Structure 1
Amino acid sequence: MGKVPVTVLTGYLGSGKTTLLNRILCEDHGKRYAVIVNEFGELGIDNDLVVGADEEVFEMNNGCICCTVRGDLIRIISGLMKRIDRFDAIIIETTGLADPAPVAQTFFVDDDVRSKTALDAVVTVADAKHLPVRLGDSPEAAEQVAFADVIILNKIDLIDEQARQSLVARIHAINPYAKIVMANHCDIDLAEVLDLGAFDLERIVSLEPGFLTEEHAHEHDEQVKSLSLTATQPLLPELFDTWISDVLRTDGVNILRCKGILHLLDQPRRYVFQSVHMLANGIFTQPWTNTEPRHSRLVFIGRDLDEARLRAGFEACIQKGSATPGLS
């Protein structure tokens, strides 16, 4: 029996990683995937955004997979190996603030993991509009590009041809070996990212000579914080729309990512809201079931977040007479 292939799916906050993951899980390719989802904040959202999420989707919150929860990754993979008959491959979706190097290192320095799995490829999803800025202000974004075997340049419709050529040249200056795939909404042929056998250990060792022998310390930008808001009573749609629009208009430059699953008044379906800086969208998805609590959960990740003001604005959107939301 061969080793289980593992794809590490990385990319900065809001690049489109979950969109790609859902495409992989929805397509009729005959493969079964175990999925490990890692989020930066303590309130998990992405797990509920993964289509068809079942017992083979594992969630790791309140820490970056390359730092505090790396031991959890090893334990989850070891547990998966005990029921290998239930899946064909593993996909790891990292938090947008993860350095891929320590994650990849796990598959070579842990004896149990190395003997049973094989790192197939590191796939980085990049937001074409915001990547130039992120390469300048975020070490994580540069690390994700440098370490990639495949780079999906997503949201390509948001930039013109001159900006596209300039961005490709900048990526190649960082990583001349990565394959670049252009996309909108991650609408790519999945053969571009799966079953590639593309991870090149020799290249990585040349990039980081201590890859196999040194413990990789990854220091995050301490200015980047996560703020989680919850409400047990429905939100008033008009008030939420007005409030969130104002927040993104005034503070969007500091809000790297906002995402939430919301219970809106008189709406039987979940409202999924997502934004990157000032670009936002919201859609209604599957109905709430009769047995689950209809809670709203909204997460902001950014710099210089005014927690008190965001909390007050969120509270003002809740139906009168309802409970006070939580803040963490």
Structure 2
Amino acid sequence: MRTQDKKIPITILTGFLGAGKTSLLNKLIKSSDKKLALIINEFGELGIDGELVCEAENQILELNNGCLCCTVQGDLTKILLQLYAKKDSFEQIVIETTGLANPAPVAELIYFDPLINSKFYVDGIITVFDTLNAEHVLSSPEGLSQIVYADKVLLSKLDKCDNFDPSQLSEINPLAVYERCDHGELVDLNALLNLGGFNVDNLSSEIKTHLHSHMGSVSLSGEGELNNACFRQWIGSVLFDMSDVVYRMKGIVNLSGVEGSTIFQSVHRLFEDEKAEKDYGNENRVVFIGEGLNEDVLKKGFFTCFKE
């Protein structure tokens, strides 16, 4: 179980080159109810509005609304620890990746570095998606990964695009929430900074498979009680033995010896779980996203975990 109430939340913001991260970030800085610390990759596109700039000290830029901003120059760990020393000056961190970046390694650093993980947690991964250039973005491994790992996808440039079909994205990542976003507008900014990563409302209750080119998702469900030890052993084998093909997992499970329902998620080899806010009874629903998924193998492993 997580102890996030004592940690600083981090939002990872990604999106392909020209998708619209700059507009969204400037709007976040100006309009958010929270004091933010922004970490910008040195190859990023962000242009902080001139009237927001106040002064720079020790590579950390202070904005005149109380937010902080700094640039990553190869050592994200160092920047995070520098910001932690100023933790009383902000409430949340937003990390902007480059347009050609896979967001998973950033999340992995936060989870797998013991010192960083003791101080921070990932609240969510947000992807700004350029609908006008959808085919180009999805043909790139980086653009595809930005969809795969997203908790929320903001659809930009829909005002310029007449023939975009959002279902092509939900087939890649049925776990994400999709929302329109033009020039940073039409978005509940404060909701972006409170994703939690554990939204399970859109998990399918049916067994089905989605495929988009080589990328696909598999959804499994069943009623009853899963053997806790067996389930965790199986999940562990999926995380490590199948880490080259399983990129995301999310689910609701009813585990033996655990009161109420447990919800969990994974990003690549990262796994976390917590008690669900409501009891889903005997329901068990698990969704996998990955490349070349073997539905039969996943299905067999899942149903083996049910108590006889």
User: d(CA) in 1 for partners of 2:175 and 2:50?
Assistant: 30
Matched, 1:146 2:118: no
Of 254, 269, 277, which aligns to 1:211? 269
- State the Cα deviation string for residues 39-92 of structure 1 (Å, max 9, x = none): 33xxx763545762433211135xxxxxxx2xx111111111112111101000
TM-score scaled by length of structure 1: 0.54
Structure 1 residue 35, shift from structure 2 partner: 0.6
Cα distance change, pair 28–13 in 1 and its aligned pair in 2 (3 A)? closer
User: d(CA) in 2 for partners of 1:197 and 1:50?
Assistant: 32
Structure 1 residue 211, shift from structure 2 partner: 1.9
- State the Cα deviation string for residues 254-309 of structure 1 (Å, max 9, x = none): xxxxxxxxxxxxxxxxxxxxxxxxxxxxxxxxxxxxxxxxxxxxxxxxxxxxxxxx
TM-score scaled by length of structure 2: 0.58
Of 104, 110, 114, which aligns to 1:107? 110
Q: Partner letter of residue 160 of structure 2?
A: L
Matched, 1:134 2:107: no
Cα distance change, pair 146–196 in 1 and its aligned pair in 2 (3 A)? same
Structure 1 residue 132, shift from structure 2 partner: 2.1
State whether residues 123 and 149 of structure 1, in contact with CA within 8 Å, keep that contact through their aligned partners in structure 2: yes
Q: Partner letter of residue 188 of structure 2?
A: D
Cα distance change, pair 199–47 in 1 and its aligned pair in 2 (3 A)? farther
Match of 2:24 in 1: 20
User: d(CA) in 2 for partners of 1:48 and 1:186?
Assistant: 14
- Structure with higher strand content: 2
State whether residues 22 and 50 of structure 1, in contact with CA within 8 Å, keep that contact through their aligned partners in structure 2: no
Of 35, 38, 41, which aligns to 1:35? 38
Match of 2:180 in 1: 182
Structure 1 counterpart SS, 2:153: strand
4+ aligned runs moved over 6 Å, structure 1: none
Cα distance change, pair 82–126 in 1 and its aligned pair in 2 (3 A)? same
Match of 2:192 in 1: 193
Consecutive unaligned residues of structure 1, counting only runs of 5 or more, are 62-68, 214-328
State whether residues 20 and 128 of structure 2, in contact with CA within 8 Å, keep that contact through their aligned partners in structure 1: yes
User: d(CA) in 2 for partners of 1:91 and 1:120?
Assistant: 10
Query: How many residue pairs get matched?
Result: 193
Q: Among the aligned pairs, what percent are the same residue? A: 37
Structure 1 residue 34, shift from structure 2 partner: 0.7
What is the root-mean-square deviation in Å for CA atoms of aligned residues? 2.5
Matched, 1:58 2:70: yes
Q: Partner letter of residue 46 of structure 1?
A: L
User: d(CA) in 1 for partners of 2:15 and 2:45?
Assistant: 17
Cα distance change, pair 93–51 in 1 and its aligned pair in 2 (3 A)? farther
Cα distance change, pair 195–87 in 1 and its aligned pair in 2 (3 A)? same
Structure 1 residue 28, shift from structure 2 partner: 5.3
